Amino acid sequence: MNNDWPLWEVFIRGKGGLSHRHAGSLHAADPAMALDHARDAYTRRMEGVSLWVVPSAQIVASDPAQAGPLFEPAEDKIYRHPTFYTIPDNVKHL
Amino acid sequence: MAKLPPLAQYALRLGDDALILGQRLSEWCGHAPALEIDLSLANIALDLVGQATHFLGLAGEIEAKGRDADALAFKRDVLDFSNCLLVEQPNGDFARTIARQFLFSHFQELQFGALTGSTDPRLAAIAAKAVKEVAYHARLASDWVARLGDGTDESRARMIAGLDWMWRFVDELFVLDAIETKLASQGIAVDKPALRAAWDARIDGVLAEATLSRPAPHRPVLGGREGHHSEHLGHLLSEMQFLQRAYPGATW
């Protein structure tokens, strides 16, 4: 019998305006405990200003075996990168 | 030990409460029921040791005899410690540790909330920093009281037993002796009896959520502030102070 608590994925917003990023995972019995554990395990060194926890079982992942058909066709389509524009000098953070 | 000035004595009490509970909690390190809980308890322990450093540092500064926070923590004998008896109680099982944290953190949060208004700016500054830390401790412990109390038959029985064990040390938290009465009248120290109603309401609210009732009244045990401790504190100190006793002045 598996006595471990369910697994949760932790996402942290580093500062206002940024998106939440995956930081790691942890075990917890319920949502409140998952948030507490995320706070204690992943934000000890001022890593963030906001936390999300998601049950790992709810993550739908792509199949690694399908990586070829899924991702390789994009490799030779360099024209999809918006790198051919001239950026005006006074536009920052792009 | 010579009598400290009243303000130094007060800072020492605040520091000793935090120091001894921090040391107790750190005993869980590597032994908690889950890795995540290990981290939670260690975080709380570190917060408390940090608070102790500030309060003991202030006590040494007021005493002005060259003792810093380390000297007060590691080179004082058990009879000179002035922490309340609640914080020195052994960890027991996880539920008993949570019971102790629950009762103490709610008291500490109310106490530090009031202390931010102290007429002594040094005490007010330490309290302002610590009250946020302690608010989290109180919430975490409350969540666990509710979870264990309203959990399985086993967790419920352990939570009830834990609260029952710790309950006799509650009244001491709210005692205002002659030293603190004088300091409170000057707006320096916290009028602790005035916090009791708010504390009762918080505790009862969480117990209701946990579907638990208050433990039966116990005869209160007092004396920690005057240095009359349980046998447990000496054992705790022998471990905490070992290095400085065996190798005085050792640093690394």
B83 and B59 Cβ atoms separated by less than 8 Å: no
Size of interface A-B (CB pairs under 8 A): 27
Asked whether residue B219 carries a pLDDT value surpassing 70, the answer given is yes
Work out the widest C-alpha separation in chain A, in whole angstroms.
62
The reported pTM is 0.90
Amino acid identity of residue A85, one-letter, is Y
Percent of chain B with pLDDT over 90: 96
Among the residue ranges A11-15, A76-80, B47-51, B188-192, the one predicted with the least confidence is: A76-80
Chain A CB contacts of B35 under 8 Å are 27
Residues of A in contact with B28 (CB under 8 A): none
**Do B147 and A33 count as a contact with CB atoms less than 8 A apart?**
yes
Domain A7-80 bears CATH identifier 3.10.20.520: yes
| Mean pLDDT value of segment B16-34 | 96
Q: What is the pLDDT of residues B154-183, one digit of tens each?
A: 999 999 999 999 999 999 999 999 999 999
**ipTM confidence:** 0.79
Question: In this structure, is the dihedral angle defined by the CA atoms of residues B143, B192, B228 and B64, taken in order, positive or negative?
Answer: positive
Task: From chain A, pick out residues whose CB is under 8 angstroms from the CB of B105.
Answer: none
Q: Which residues of A touch B143 (CB under 8 A)?
A: 32-33, 36
Which residues from A are below 8 Å from B when comparing CB atoms? Answer: 5, 26-30, 32-33, 36-37, 39-41, 44
Which tens digit of pLDDT belongs to each residue from A25-70?
Answer: 999 999 999 999 999 999 988 889 999 999 999 999 999 999 888 9
Q: Which residue of B has its CA nearest to A8?
A: B36
pLDDT band for A74, please (50, 70, 90 cuts): confident
Q: Is B39 on the interface with A (CB under 8 A)?
A: yes
CA distances (Å), origin A90, targets A17, A29, A84, A87:
20, 50, 18, 8
What are the φ and ψ backbone dihedral angles of A69, each rounded to 5 degrees?
-60, -35
Q: Calculate how close chain B gets to A29, using CA atoms only, in Å.
A: 10
pLDDT tens digits for range B52-96 = 999 999 999 999 999 999 999 999 999 999 999 999 999 999 999
Domain regions of chain A by residue span:
7-80
